[in-house]
């Protein structure tokens, strides 16, 4: 295999990864690129590499395999030219077999030994059948969630918060890794903690973030009432079912009964009217 072939393939796929926006159609998340997503995952692998080696001493070349797996785990998306975000994976029109075929064709530009090695890793990731593939799935979900967590306004939605929790929790047991369990547990706890902080200590910050959302139709009074209602929602009672998770905050009526609260008159006028009604009832 010519060295130029390797360099050309790196340039081509890196170019595509740097230009593929993630969460492009998601109103809740200001996305990163696939290249940035991979970089974040590679950094996480570096930070836990020694822990994984100690946990799985019999897994030869685990860290090497994990680096390689995560580097190419989204090659199907960059080659196809579209990212299907986590909230819409059910709408993915490309099957796993088609994705494996697409990536295998790209890797065939390498020599047979290199392409077979990477094809095996990619297939193990897609089928969750190798240790490196299983851990890569968990890392993919952790770093994807972390972007949403950093943009705290997204967690005001109980649907988004519950989805993020279930998204990592459902893959918790696949690798049997203690360090991965700790990371997943910590991320879930941070989601709950952030919602509690926004409800209590940082409520006005949450309201301000909401009002800055594009096309937010609420007045400040409406935003305060609705944000409080959303943050008070017990996530244990939220069932995602077939709900459209990434709906806008002001489109929550199907998910939460009696929502959103509509205040068409100033709050002080509403209070006066309520006081008047109470006075009438007392007579």
49-58, 77-86, 154-163, 268-277 — most confident range: 49-58
DSSP state of 86: G
Phi/psi of residue 195, nearest 5 degrees:
-65, -40
What distance in Å separates the CA atoms of residue 110 and residue 5, rounded to the nearest whole number? Answer: 7
Where do the structural domains in the chain lie, given as residue ranges?
3-132, 151-283
pLDDT digits (tens, 9 = 90+) for 143-180: 999 999 998 888 999 999 999 999 999 999 999 999 99
Helix (H, G, I), strand (E, B) or coil at 228: helix
Once rounded to an integer, what is the mean pLDDT over residues 65-88? Answer: 86
pLDDT for the residue numbered 120:
97
pLDDT digits (tens, 9 = 90+) for 229-261: 999 999 999 888 767 787 888 887 644 544 555
**Does position 105 have pLDDT exceeding 50, yes or no?**
yes
Helix (H, G, I), strand (E, B) or coil at 21: strand
What distance in Å separates the CA atoms of residue 227 and residue 210, rounded to the nearest whole number? Answer: 8
DSSP 110-170: S-HHHHHHHHHHHHHHHHT-SHHHHHHHHHHHHHHHHHHHHSGGGGGSHHHHHHHHHHHHT
Question: Do the Cβ atoms of 148 and 154 come closer than 8 Å?
Answer: yes
Place 85 in a pLDDT band, splitting at 50, 70 and 90: low
**Does position 56 have pLDDT exceeding 90, yes or no?**
yes
What global pTM score does this model have?
0.85
**Does position 36 have pLDDT exceeding 50, yes or no?**
yes
Percentage of the chain with pLDDT > 70?
A: 83
* Count of residues making up the chain: 283
Nearest 5°: the CA angle 74, 79, 82 is: 75
């Amino acid at each position: 295999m010519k060295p130029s072939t390797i360099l050309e393939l790196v340039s081509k796929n890196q170019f595509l990864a740097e230009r593929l926006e993630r969460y492009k159609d998601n109103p809740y998340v200001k996305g990163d690129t696939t290249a940035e997503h991979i970089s974040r995952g590679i950094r996480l692998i570096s930070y836990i590499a020694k822990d994984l080696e100690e946990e799985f001493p019999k897994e030869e070349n685990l860290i090497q395999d994990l680096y390689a797996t995560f580097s190419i785990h989204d090659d199907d998306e960059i080659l196809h030219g579209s990212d299907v975000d986590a909230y819409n994976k059910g709408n993915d029109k490309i099957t796993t077999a088609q994705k494996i075929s697409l990536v295998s064709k790209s890797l065939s530009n390498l020599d047979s030994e290199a392409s077979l090695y990477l094809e095996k890793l990619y297939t193990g990731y897609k089928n969750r059948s190798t240790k490196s593939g299983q851990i890569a799935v968990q890392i993919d979900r952790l770093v994807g969630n972390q972007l949403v967590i950093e943009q705290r306004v997204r967690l005001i939605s109980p649907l988004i918060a519950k989805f993020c929790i279930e998204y990592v929790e459902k893959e918790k047991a696949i690798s049997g890794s203690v360090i991965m369990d700790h990371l997943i547990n910590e991320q879930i706890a941070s989601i709950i903690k952030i919602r509690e902080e926004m409800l209590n200590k940082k409520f006005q910050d949450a309201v301000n973030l909401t009002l800055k959302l594009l096309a937010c139709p609420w007045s400040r009074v409406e935003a305060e009432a609705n944000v409080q209602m959303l943050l008070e929602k017990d996530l244990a009672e939220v069932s995602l079912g077939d709900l459209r998770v990434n709906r806008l905050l002001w489109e929550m009526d199907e998910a939460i009964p009696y929502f959103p609260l509509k205040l068409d008159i100033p709050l002080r006028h509403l209070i006066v009217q309520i006081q008047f009604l109470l006075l009438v009832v007392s007579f």
